[in-house]
A = this chain, B = another copy of it.
Amino acid sequence: MLTLLSENRSFAGIHRRYRHESAVLDCAMTLAVYLPPQALSGETVPALYWLSGLTCTDENVMQKAGAHRLAASLGLALIAPDTSPRGPEVPGDPDGAWDFGHGAGFYLNASEVPWARHYRMHDYVVEELPALLERELPLNGRRGVSGHSMGGHGALVCALRNPGFYRSVSAFAPISHPSRCPWGEKAFSRYLGPDRSRWSAWDACDLMASAPERLPLLVDQGLDDPFLESQLRPDDLEEAARAAGHPLQLRRQSGYDHSYFFIASFIDDHLRHHAAALLPQG
């Protein structure tokens, strides 16, 4: 059951923040939904799930991406889950770091103690949350997924692991190859344990080879992103897609960094990419 926290009229649609008790994560979760005007007048609409990056909450994309304008015009709902389980009962990074634990769930199901009890963001994002929202809101069950950085990784992995569940996928500056970058190695070694063979099930570059579905993938990457080489590794994604014959449009954007100014600059292209798969073509 969703408890309404706040709502704001936006581009003739409505932005809402909700709280609910997540059985999968075993804690209370906050999320945000943008419903376009079409959803307020009796129609059901498709939903684009946006998975945010390290340290973010539901608020970043809703406030900073400038996505409501075109979502309203197209008739797309936007769904922004939080980036991890939260709360005093949820263990965070033992050193208080921002790249693990709270705000850093990495959209996987943890197998290791003490993380496995709460850190099940994959099942939350792909199972519990869509089921809840499609029951309670005017959504038609057509879904796309996108995200930024850690959430770009999440979008790729959720789509690659769940053929048929999404009709479209894209990402901004995704952590493309988490098994081979410091952020991913830190998170995977704790959430999944030291056996690297178990990491492949959560790594887009590894999943791509045997993916049973090949949704066309749109990725934007800023070339002035400070995390480009060390953490994001778009070349690895490009090589994995080439080897697998996976359709990938990787756009290297000169001068852009890792911020929401970069996302806002290209969000409309992503919304149109999703709308082409999610909406009836006129």
> Which chain A residues have a beta carbon within 8 Å of chain B's beta carbons?
8-12, 15, 63-64, 66, 68-69, 222, 224, 253, 255-257, 259-262, 264-265, 268
CB contacts (< 8 Å) of A257 on chain B: these are 8-9
Contact between chains at B64 and A261 (CB < 8 Å): no
Asked if A261 and B68 make an inter-chain contact with CB atoms under 8 angstroms apart, the answer reads: yes
A234 to chain B, nearest CB (A): 17
| Cα–Cα, bound, A109→B63 (Å) | 33
Given contacts A15-B261, A69-B268, 11 further A-B contacts (CB under 8 A): A8-B256, A8-B262, A9-B253, A9-B261, A10-B265, A11-B265, A63-B64, A64-B64, A66-B66, A66-B69, A66-B264
* Pair B69/A224 contact, Cβ less than 8 Å: no
Cβ of A259 and Cβ of B8 under 8 Å apart? yes
Closest to A224 in B: B9
> By the criterion CB–CB under 8 Å, are A264 and B9 in contact?
no
A9 & B255 in contact (Cβ 8 Å cutoff): yes
Provide the residues of chain B in CB contact with A222, threshold 8 Å. 9
Closest chain B residue to A65 by CB distance?
A: B66
- Provide 27 A-B residue pairs closer than 8 Å at the C-beta atoms, listed in order of the A residue: A8-B259, A8-B261, A8-B262, A9-B222, A9-B253, A9-B256, A9-B257, A9-B261, A9-B262, A9-B265, A10-B261, A10-B264, A10-B265, A11-B264, A11-B265, A12-B265, A15-B261, A63-B64, A64-B64, A66-B66, A66-B69, A66-B264, A68-B261, A68-B264, A68-B265, A69-B264, A69-B268
Q: How far, in whole Å, are A256 and B8 apart by their CA atoms in the complex? A: 7
Q: Which residue of B lies closest to A11 (CB)?
A: B265
Q: Which B-chain residue is minimally distant from A62 (CB atoms)?
A: B261
Residues of B within 8 A of A10 (CB): 261-262, 264-265
Residue of B nearest to A256 (CB): B9
**With the chains together, A211 CA to B187 CA distance in Å?**
63
Residue numbers in B under 8 Å from A64 (CB-CB): 63-64
Question: How far apart are the CA atoms of A8 and B68 in the complex, in Å?
Answer: 22
**A11–B66 Cα gap in the complex (Å)?**
12
Query: Bound complex: CA of A12 vs CA of B262, how far in Å?
Result: 10
CB distance from A245 to the nearest CB of B (A): 33
Give the CA-CA distance A8 to B261 in the complex, in Å.
7
Which residues of chain B are near A253, meaning CB under 8 Å?
9
* Minimum Cβ distance to chain B for residue A146 (Å): 18
Shortest beta-carbon distance from A155 to chain B in Å: 22
